[in-house]
Amino acid sequence: MAEILHWMDNKPFAGTSGEVGPVTNPATGEVTGQVAFASVQDARTVIDAAAAAFPMWRDTSLAKRTAILFAFRELLNARKDELAAIITAEHGKVLSDAAGEISRGLEVVEFACGIPHLVKGGFTENASTNVDVHSVLQPVGPAAIISPFNFPAMVPMWFFPVAIAAGNTVVIKPSEKDPSAAVWLAELWAEAGLPAGVFNVLHGDKTAVDELLTNPAIKSVSFVGSTPIAQYVYATGTAAGKRVQALGGAKNHAVILPDADLDLAADSMVNAGFGSAGERCMAVSVCVAVGEIADELVAKIAERTRTLKTGNGVDNPDMGPLVTKAHRDRVASYVEAGEKAGATVVIDGRDVTPVGEDTTDGFWLGPTLFDNVTTDMTIYTDEIFGPVLSVVRTDTYDEALELINSNAYGNGTAIFTNDGGAARRFANEVEVGMVGINVPIPVPMAYYSFGGWKNSLFGDSHAHGMEGVHFFTRTKAITTRWLDPSHGGLNLGFPQND
Ligand code: NAD
């Protein structure tokens, strides 16, 4: 059984709490490891290490910082298969999907390799007579990064490449369900030459998170997880005077207009609804069929869904298990509730037979398709975070738009149509942070920023891109006059330009 320890000063740190939690392989149901759970004192020890390293790292030249980032990028690219295997073993997603999340994380590392250009300030000569003004972007200080179970590598990589490149030190608090990816990344940073104390990993639960949110040495908090916890993290962290970006849950709708290519739309609904067993914050969980196409569309989605294979992620089937037994049972209870509420069960994932060996005790639920879902049903109102796709039928585009804009979440959405005018109107009118046009999972590239609106994000900074650079730096404006004989002498008025 693996012992998964905290990571501090470029080496494992056992902590003193004596508390541990189980880590499970969701495909086999086997407990494969025990992860340390931090006490308040353990959290303080790790935070102190990050704080102690900050002055040294802040003053390390951009040339040296980028050399280490490039080395990290090369190592990660060469060894990404190892990381993918770790993700599959603890999360359950299929290997190709684990490789995909690493690629998206690598893009942010590559973006951060350009940090010298990204933190250039401005310079204005002669703003006033013989007075110059320039600005610099300085790191904020030790950063806390608290991540969810569903992307154990990519979500931390939305933040730490930019944070570290900009001169901050970091403490990552990964999900206790799949904590090994963060430790593997920590080892890789050490190999890339990152000095001790810059990248630290703190395992645990609310105790660890609460210390990160309130400890005065932590200057910024980047959180990704469910909406109630995101709201709590935002309220607690900002009350303690920190800058906080807290990304929450989602209920993503895709609108299919009558003129859409229905084969493309059906492929997209299956890919975005059931990929990673629906445990993606950008998964499509509601398909809004507009007008007469609904019967044909549902038939096409069903036909494709029936071909999907669910099994152990190491064999690369279409879909893996759910992350824990408790989560599997919770998702299954939604399927039951949907059926009881009167939605049409087109495909019932509770009947799934997983492919592959050694799957008897895994946490299985196959792809589930509901039709005729109405907005009062819990399968519509709640974020299920599993392989459950609900089709809602509307008569018009306006009804479809109203559904999305009245939803509490605003993470991602998509429209399928061949009408450029309709697509343009949707992009303009929809109140959602990330929009796809004939693209079901519109995750922005690293040089744009990732983030939703409404209850999908608390704070005003999205992840990575220039918003990430802004979040992990603070601007200082410096006004300079070198003495010359013509200075104006005493003047108690507010400075004015001349
Ligand atoms: P979660 O909210 O349960 O946990 C997220 C993190 O918060 C974990 O590190 C966890 O240990 C910690 N945590 C849990 N309970 C806590 C508490 N009471 N106090 C303090 N910290 C606590 O989320 P999850 O189940 O790991 O992840 C799934 C959720 O994340 C979904 O809602 C999904 O939509 C969301 N998500 C959102 C995005 C996005 O970009 N908006 C991306 C990925 C996942």
Q: Which string of DSSP letters, residue by residue, matches 204-272? A: -SHHHHHHHHH-TT--EEEEES-HHHHHHHHHHHHHTT-EEEEE----EEEEE-TTS-HHHHHHHHHHH
Q: What is the DSSP letter of 278?
A: G
**Is the distance from the beta carbon of residue 209 to the nearest atom of ligand 1 less than 6 Å?**
yes
Please identify, by atom number, the ligand 1 atom nearest to the C-alpha of residue 228.
2
Residue 229 CA, closest ligand 1 atom number:
2
If DSSP codes are grouped into helix, strand and coil, which group holds residue 479?
strand
Q: How far, in Å, from the CA of 158 to the mean position of ligand 1?
A: 15
Determine the Cα–Cα distance for residues 108 and 121; give it in Å rounded to an integer: 21
229 within ligand 1 shell (Cβ under 6 A): yes
Q: Best of 93, 171, 280, 281 to mutate for ligand 1, by most ligand atoms within 8 A of CB?
A: 281
Residues 182, 46: Cα–Cα separation, whole Å: 15
**DSSP assignment of 84-107:** HHHHHHHH---HHHHHHHHHHHHH
The tokens describing 379, both together, are 């399968």
User: Which residue lies with its CA nearest to atom 9 of ligand 1?
Assistant: 175
Q: Confirm if 257 and 397 have CB atoms less than 8 A apart.
A: yes
Q: How far does the centroid of ligand 1 lie from the alpha carbon of residue 104, in Å?
A: 19
Confidence at residue 496, expressed as pLDDT on a 0 to 100 scale: 74
Q: Which residues, in sequence order, are CB contacts of 420 under 8 Å at separation 6+?
A: none
For the chain, list the domains and their CATH numbers: 2-248+456-478 (3.40.605.10), 252-437 (3.40.309.10)
Whose C-alpha lies nearest to ligand 1, atom 38? 281
Closest by CA position to 8, among listed 49, 55, 58: 49
Distance (Å) from CA 75 to ligand 1 centroid: 29
Q: Are strands 30-37 and 19-25 parallel, antiparallel or unpaired?
A: antiparallel
Q: Is 225 in the pocket of ligand 1 (CB under 6 A)?
A: yes
In the numeric block, the tokens 């401005």 are attached to 122
Is residue 385 in contact with ligand 1, taking CB distance under 6 Å?
yes
Residue with tokens 């709490």: 17
Atom of ligand 1 nearest to the CA of 225: 30
Nearest atom in ligand 1 to 383's CA: 32
Query: Which residue's alpha carbon is at the smallest distance from atom 24 of ligand 1?
Result: 148
| CB contact at 8 A, 477 and 133 | yes
- Nearest CA-CA partner of 209 in 196, 197, 199, 222: 222
What residues are labeled active site? 281
Q: Which of 144, 163, 165 is nearest to 217 (CA)?
A: 144
Tell which residue, 400, 406, 440, has the closest CA to residue 422. 400
Please tell me the distance from the alpha carbon of residue 101 to that of residue 161, in angstroms, as a whole number. Answer: 15
Nearest to 335 by CA among 298, 364, 378: 378
Q: Is 452 in the pocket of ligand 1 (CB under 6 A)?
A: yes
- Residues 263 and 493: their CA atoms lie apart, in Å, by 71
What is the C-alpha separation between 489 and 498, in angstroms, rounded?
A: 15
**Quick check: pTM over 0.95?**
yes
DSSP E strand boundaries for 348-433: 368-371, 388-394, 409-410, 412-416
**Residues 76, 184: Cα–Cα separation, whole Å:** 10
Distance between CA atoms of residues 217 and 210, nearest Å: 13
End-to-end CA separation in angstroms for the chain? 73
Residue type, 427: A
According to the model, what pLDDT value does residue 444 have?
95
- Ligand 1, pocket-test mutation among 147, 150, 159, 285, most atoms within 8 A of CB: 150
User: Does residue 173 have its Cβ closer than 6 Å to ligand 1?
Assistant: yes
- Alpha carbons 373 and 385: distance in angstroms, whole number: 17
| Closest ligand 1 atom, residue 233 Cα | 20
- Where are any strands of DSSP class E within 412-493? 412-416, 434-437, 453-454, 457-458, 473-481
The confidence score (pLDDT) of residue 357 equals 83
- Mean pLDDT of successive 10-residue stretches along the chain, which has 498 residues: 97 98 98 98 99 98 98 98 98 98 98 98 94 97 98 98 99 98 99 98 98 99 98 98 98 98 98 98 98 98 98 97 98 98 98 91 98 98 98 98 98 98 98 98 96 98 98 98 75 79
| Candidate from 101, 175, 407 with most ligand 1 atoms within 8 A of CB, to mutate | 175
334 CA from centroid of ligand 1 (Å): 19
Cβ atoms 139, 243 nearer than 8 A = no
Indicate whether residue 230 lines ligand 1 (CB < 6 A). no
24 token code pair:
């499970």
Dihedral of CA atoms 31, 35, 39, 40 in degrees, nearest 10, equals: -130
